Chain A
Amino acid sequence: MSEMTWKDFLSQAQEFLKISEQLGDGWVLHEKDANEPNTFLKYSHKIKCQESKDSDFTLINVEYHIVYSVSYQVPMLFFQAHRSDGSLLDLEATWRVFMPDTASKDLYQMLTQTEHPVLFRPFMALHPCRTAEVLDQFGQPSANRVLTFISLYGPHVKLQLANAYGLSK
């Protein structure tokens, strides 16, 4: 098992940011304060979604944070969505929007609400317990494991990276 150190995470996140800046797709590196691990990658976009099967399509804003988990020593994907009036989607609403076809008993193993390690607020998170294992399967060819992580985990919560990320060296 190859966990990741905070320094690895930080340098790979900075590399990721460089690619993003070339592409101009709007990722930023958010530095909260001087207490490490204090920095995370941030991205937000708007998506059209249905909060339930019969409701109209509405627009929500989703903010994604790629944060370093000290306990699991892997990157973690945190996110939070809000509606046009500023109200946040709670866990149940998040499940309905992002994982409408998943059996409810399986949901908590994938997407739960937990405390954001940098902001100390409840946030939605994809569960990190198998991240190290998953990243390992990609072995050495992955030059940037933060990038690999985002491209693997992001699509589960409507976060797609441009193909250009895969091409850049």
Chain B
Amino acid sequence: MSESILQFAPWESFVSPTFWHKLAELKLDHDRLSDAQRSISGHYTNRKATGCLLEADYTSFNSSGQPPKFSHAAVGTIYNKNTIEEFKALDKLTLLSDEGKKLLADMCSDRVATDPSLLTRFFVLSFADLKCHSYYYWFAFPCPLTPTLKLQGAGTRLKDLSNSSKYVEALQTLPPDVQNFFILYANDQEDAVEARSLSSLDEKEVEHYYFGFADPSEYEHPAWLMRNYAAFLLQRYPSFIGKSLRFLGLRYNQQMQMDDSLIWNVVQTEACDLNETEDVKFVGWELNKNGKMGPRMVCMRDSMDPAKLAENSVNLNLKLMKWRLVPDLNLEIISQTKCLLFGAGTLGCAVARNLLSWGFKHITLLDNGKVGFSNPVRQNLYTHADAVAGNRMKATTAALRLRDINPSAETVGHVLEIPMPGHTIGESLRAQTEQNLLLIEQQVQAHDVIFLLTDSRESRWLPTLLGAAYEKIVINAALGFDSYLVMRHGSSRDEAGDSGREIVGLKCINGNQLGCYFCNDVTAPGNSLKDRTLDQQCTVTRPGVSNIAASYAVELLVALLQHPQRELAPAYYAQTGRHQSSEDSGKVPEGLLGILPHSVRGMLCNYENILPATQKFAQCIACSAPVLGAFKNEGHAFLFKTFETAKYLEDLTGISEFKRLNSEIIDFDDAEFDISEDDED
């Protein structure tokens, strides 16, 4: 008879996500800093086995776990370390040996005989990085290194035995809970076949025994657990040494037939008393995915980090848009674009929320106000409690709320006053103003997009200037009582983008020739809060106006970001007459999300929008060359001069001269706008 060394199919650990969920929960709520070992259980099935799996899930931590149906229990321990260093530094050989000795002690006592599941042994060394939701782990299946078992002949299928139908019949009488380890007694002379429990073992009857076990291996080799089974039998019954022992690996298919069960005749010729042997060696660490001796790591962020879950769900919504309607939508650009919001009031709150909806991640708010009692109803990031508290600053509160809404957003609020032309700064405030200027400049440089959402004209001057000076995308939204203006400022980037296409009936202005908020003005912003009644000082608007304007502002930005030329994209407007005929406007070239206008002016009183585009003004008090030049050369000194008196700007740009010559073109756009109202009559 041919003899070969019997090999075993090694265990493959198979962990359910629920195992990590439970481990995290126990660590946080119970174990905390304790890294004491913890008893766990695993399970394996011999029904339609795939691989040779030892499975662990949340039930593994139950104190008296019932294995799932058609499965058997394995007995284990988890050593969950507190730090990655402890995890790495732990002596793996010693741990394996300690665990092995516990197994050995069980084998040599009566414990295994009464509960053979103790033979199916495993332990896990782990470290749970709960901040990053990463789990480092290493399974081991300890087994004493005993003399080799020789396989006599090849494994035989149960079906191929002459008496197989009788064996099957006997095996069917075996209750499921003792099928993990059992004895099949088969005495052919006496025609007696009987399935028995392992505890009934009588060593004199060994020649009639099949040592049965539930075999989770799908391979020709028996599962690793048979190694401990054989070691246990040979240790407990030394008379078995040198004898041919028959092992029956019980394997079910999906239909619960056991035809594929295998029988191995094995013999261990060499005697070995594990109790006598000094320093028994143990084996059993699982190889990692690369087939190397080493631990594994799994990142569970996607399913365990609530912030990540929210992020994924938000993206899911946006991806649906990409999948179904706009396949070329670039969501990456959106998530990477950093937005700086000047003003955290009605417009600021609404813009910020719209940004979140689109998947923007980086939002910074600048504002100097406190949340007041009148604010929460319109400013949708604040609550009454914020006002009651009396000291909650809008910028920081808004940043906090944005993170409450989407924890993966990176939001910051800075409380500061925006210096304004014509708002003289007293000596005592000069140092503070210097500091604010530095912070504002630094913030503008650190962001890609600047939103102008303050409630006065002059507070938009500095951000307009800085946006132009640092070549940022600037989106501006301003409100009247029942009207709004939303616009993108012309780019100050000098590079010559492709010129816009000439289209009959349409005038085209290239993106770097478009005007800013101040380009249509022939006065420098002064102190507009001076000499005003209360209703003029507060922003009195129909409430819907701010939400409409905020939505347009964000949509305009997204359309711009998705346009191949971005802020250099040209804007078109109808040349003939004030009304863009639908025929002409139909010709305006579209980007990914439709046309990209320069500005949107709308009225609630007639529910109408018009889309004017205007040129840069060479004497603009915010974005013209003389102003940018003076800022570049003189820096803060220049700014302080403008804060002192707005007249300085008018002189610098030559606009005072201009004003004197021709006052008829004042508010050209507004005049145009007013006419459209008249037309309604």
Contacts and interface: CB of A to CB of B under 8 A. Distances in A.
A105 B327 contact: yes
Interface in B3-60: 12-17, 19-20, 50-51, 53
B373 interface: no
Contact of A84 (B14, B299, B327): B14
A86 B309 contact: no
A122 B50 contact: no
Contacts of A84: 12-15, 53
Nearest to B18: A86
Nearest to A63: B16
Given A24-B256, A122-B316, A88 B17 contact: yes
A46 B52 CA distance: 12
Contacts of B70: 26
Nearest to B20: A86
A129 to B, nearest CB: 12
Most buried by B among A48, A85, A90: A85
A136 interface: no
Contact of A61 (B16, B69, B254, B303): B16
A108 interface: yes
A82 interface: yes
Contact of A88 (B50, B51, B302): B302
A113 interface: yes
B327 A86 contact: no
Contacts of B303: 87-88
Nearest to B312: A122
B90 interface: no
Contacts of B256: 24
Most buried by B among A59, A87, A121: A87
A5 interface: no
B69 A86 contact: no
A48 B50 contact: yes
A86 B135 contact: yes
B316 A86 contact: no
Nearest to A113: B316
A162 B313 CA distance: 35
A11 interface: no
A13 B299 CA distance: 36
Most buried by B among A25, A84, A121: A84
Most buried by B among A26, A90, A114: A26
Nearest to B19: A86
Contact of B300 (A26, A86, A108, A122): A86
A36 to B, nearest CB: 24
B322 to A, nearest CB: 9
Interface string A40-62: 00000010100000000001010
Given A25-B254, A26-B69, A108-B324, A87 B17 contact: yes
Contacts of A162: 254
Nearest to A108: B323
A15 interface: no
A133 interface: no
B313 A87 contact: no
A123 B462 CA distance: 48
A115 B320 CA distance: 13
A87 B298 contact: yes
B316 A114 contact: yes
Contacts of A121: 309
A131 interface: no
A112 interface: yes
A85 B17 CA distance: 8
A86 B50 contact: no
A82 B16 contact: yes
A154 B51 CA distance: 24
B392 interface: no
A25 B152 CA distance: 36
B50 A46 contact: yes
A121 B303 CA distance: 9
22 contacts: A26-B70, A46-B14, A46-B50, A48-B50, A59-B12, A59-B50, A61-B16, A82-B17, A84-B53, A85-B15, A86-B15, A86-B17, A86-B19, A87-B17, A87-B299, A87-B302, A87-B303, A88-B302, A112-B320, A122-B313, A122-B316, A162-B254
Interface of A: 24-26, 46, 48, 59, 61, 82, 84-88, 90, 105, 108, 112-115, 121-122, 162
Given A59-B12, A90-B302, A108-B323, 9 more contacts: A82-B16, A84-B53, A85-B15, A86-B16, A86-B20, A87-B17, A113-B316, A115-B313, A162-B254
Nearest first, the 3 closest Cβ-Cβ pairs linking A and B are A108-B323, A85-B298, A86-B15
